């Protein structure tokens, strides 16, 4: 169940990033945002997966918290920081006080 929540959060973040880049710049920027999120997710999950398999006992911690769940949980904090820097910050103001 934890995996499903994390996957849904990634889908929502990807849709948000695509829509925001598409509205602010162009469709091409939106597609690039989707590609970047997919790349970050894939590479990050591969890295945290190997770390989780090293930490997790052979049977897993419980039936619902396995090495795959741990790897996704380990992936969330760095992704949140990166997504916040890239996609979730507010757009810079076009006007400044001079």
**Structural domain boundaries in the chain:** 7-88
Contact 76, 54 (CB under 8 A): no
Cβ-count burial 16-33 (b if 16+ within 10 Å, e if not):
ebbebbbeeeeeeebeeb
Residues of the chain with pLDDT under 70: 90-98
pTM: 0.77
Calpha distance 73→66 (Å, rounded): 11
């Amino acid at each position: 169940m934890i995996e499903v929540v994390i996957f849904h959060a990634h889908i929502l973040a990807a849709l948000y990033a695509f829509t925001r880049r598409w509205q602010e710049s162009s469709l091409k920027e939106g597609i690039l945002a989707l590609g970047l999120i997919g790349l970050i997710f894939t590479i990050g999950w591969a890295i945290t997966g190997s770390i989780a398999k090293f930490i997790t006992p052979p049977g897993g911690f419980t039936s619902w918290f396995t090495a795959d769940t741990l790897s996704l949980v380990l992936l969330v904090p760095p992704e949140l920081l990166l997504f916040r820097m890239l996609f979730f910050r507010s757009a810079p103001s076009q006007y400044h006080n001079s």
